[in-house]
Structure 1
Amino acid sequence: MSESGTGEAARPWLREIGSIVLGVLIALAIGEVADGLRHRVNARATLAVIRTDLGRNGVSLEERMMKGRCYLRRLDELRAELAAARRTGRLRPIGAIGRPNIRPFYQPGWNTLLGSGELNYLPRRQIDGITSYFSMVETYDEMQREEQSAWARLRVLENRTGPVEGDLMAELETTIEETRNRSEILNVTARQMWIFQHYLGVATDRSFFDNGTTAAMARASVVCQPLQVAAS
């Protein structure tokens, strides 16, 4: 058989192979497009959950923004009482000092998004905003726990009788300074997180407490009342 005859015979076979390969490539392309579309749909559904979480977290952030100055004022009051005790050698009896609230932050939507690997299917602006927000949540949660421990140590001053001196005095003074610094950072962080929440277009969820109720509860809390100190 001539070479031309062999080539003619092979052409149908080659065309069939080409058709199969082309079909496979088209199927892969369609599958990739469909897969990408599915990931984008999932990511946007999870984003809706995240937005709900942010709205709920907004209540805790606004509470912190309202009460943050109370925490700093209380620490300044305790600092003044210890300074007076250093001068007089006697600590005046101090009533309840109160404490900051610790509020867990909703983040199931964020955890789902990270676990699915679908974060990059969101628009870049949303990725940057959400990532920044939840990185601050991690820091904020850790500092809240540290803050609670510090205020627990300060409650040794409540209704205490007798002198406060030596190592105990030094420890309490140091705790007040460290706690005040931590409170300032938490106050600023809460404000930044609240700004990010609104940057992402999420309003605070008022389903449980409206702004007026939250403010009234803050004003009524022990830590926002003047420190009760017995006359020396």
Structure 2
Amino acid sequence: MGGERRQKFVREVGSVVLGVLIALGLGAIATEIGWRVEVRGARAAMSGELGELIGQGEERVKIEACIERRLDDVARVVRDAERIGRLAPLGDIGLPPYRTWPRGVWQSTLDAQTAAHLDSELLDNYATAYDFADQMATLHRGELDIWTRLHTLSGPGRAFSAEEARTLELAISQARFANRMMALAGIRMKQVTSAYELGYDRAEADLYAKQPIAAFIICQPIATEIPTGYGQAPMRGVSQRALDNPITRASLGLGVKRQ
């Protein structure tokens, strides 16, 4: 191969290699841009989810004292019943508000590998905030079981033993602990979110945090209507309330869906 032909061959190979490198570089840039768009979208979605979670946490802080007072009332019922050996007639004692503690956006961010493209410190901070949300969800599930046990006190009046008093006193203590820990976790989650500037939707939070105290059953007096028998449970009539107050786009703060 002559020198001129060799030079031409080298130039052609060089052009191909350069073209490949440019294509690879452009592909890498496009991929990076794509991940940045994904991260931006994920952070915007998590802002809404964190807003809901923080609002639910603020709600628990707001009604913490109401729940403590209700547990004081229940403790007096147990103490008086043990003293005389009989439960007095008692209506529905209520229940802390049922909440879902969502984490679907965060889980989707992890599953889609989008989280791997967050700055490592930012990822750790989001994980810490959602850890507190997970704690509240776990505590709340246990809390519902505890309050179901406490509802065995509601009824028309019956004999009551010291052994039953000990069992219910333990349930009362467990309910107090769950209440205090949920309030604490709610405070810490908001503090982490604010301290690390993760961002959250304040309007979403206010849907829960700005509910008046009177809106919570647990902050109202114990119901005066006395059940006709024992074996009661929380959330009586919940199906009808759900039908009377359906979830709609408007109730979720969403606009009218375009056709």
- Give me the TM-score of the superposition, normalised by structure 2: 0.73
Do 1:102 and 1:145's aligned partners in 2 also have CA atoms closer than 8 Å?
Answer: no
- RMSD between aligned residues: 2.8
Q: Which residue of 1 aligns with 2:255?
A: none
The answer on 1:204 being equivalent to 2:202 is: yes
The answer on 1:222 being equivalent to 2:220 is: no
* C-alpha distance in structure 2 between counterparts of 1:109 and 1:220, whole Å: 29
Q: Which runs of 5+ in 2 are unaligned?
A: 225-259
The answer on 1:107 being equivalent to 2:103 is: yes
Task: Answer 1 or 2: higher relative contact order, Cα 8 Å, separation at least 6.
Answer: 1
Identity score, percent: 28
The answer on 1:95 being equivalent to 2:125 is: no
- Give me the TM-score of the superposition, normalised by structure 1: 0.81
* C-alpha distance in structure 2 between counterparts of 1:176 and 1:166, whole Å: 15
Please give the residue correspondences for 1:76-95 in structure 2 after superposition, counting only pairs within 5 Å.
Answer: 76-95=72-91
SS at match of 1:46: helix
* C-alpha distance in structure 2 between counterparts of 1:72 and 1:36, whole Å: 52
Write 1 or 2 for the structure with the bigger share of helix.
1
Q: Which residue of 1 aligns with 2:27?
A: 31
SS at match of 1:18: helix
The answer on 1:57 being equivalent to 2:53 is: yes
Q: Which residue of 2 aligns with 1:67?
A: 63
110-119 or 203-212, which moves further after superposition? 203-212
Computing the radius of gyration over CA atoms, which structure comes out larger, 1 or 2?
1
How many residue pairs get matched? 222
* C-alpha distance in structure 1 between counterparts of 2:139 and 2:208, whole Å: 27
Q: Which residue of 2 aligns with 1:175?
A: 171
One-letter identity of the residue aligned with 1:202: Y
> Over residues 210-231 of structure 1, what are the superposed CA-to-partner deviations in whole Å (9 max), with x where a residue is unaligned?
865x1x2x235332235579xx
Q: Which runs of 5+ in 1 are unaligned?
A: none
One-letter identity of the residue aligned with 2:155: N
Please give the residue correspondences for 1:105-144 in structure 2 after superposition, counting only pairs within 5 Å.
Answer: 105-144=101-140
SS at match of 1:205: helix
* C-alpha distance in structure 1 between counterparts of 2:205 and 2:68, whole Å: 29
Do 1:54 and 1:204's aligned partners in 2 also have CA atoms closer than 8 Å?
Answer: no
Do 1:57 and 1:204's aligned partners in 2 also have CA atoms closer than 8 Å?
Answer: no
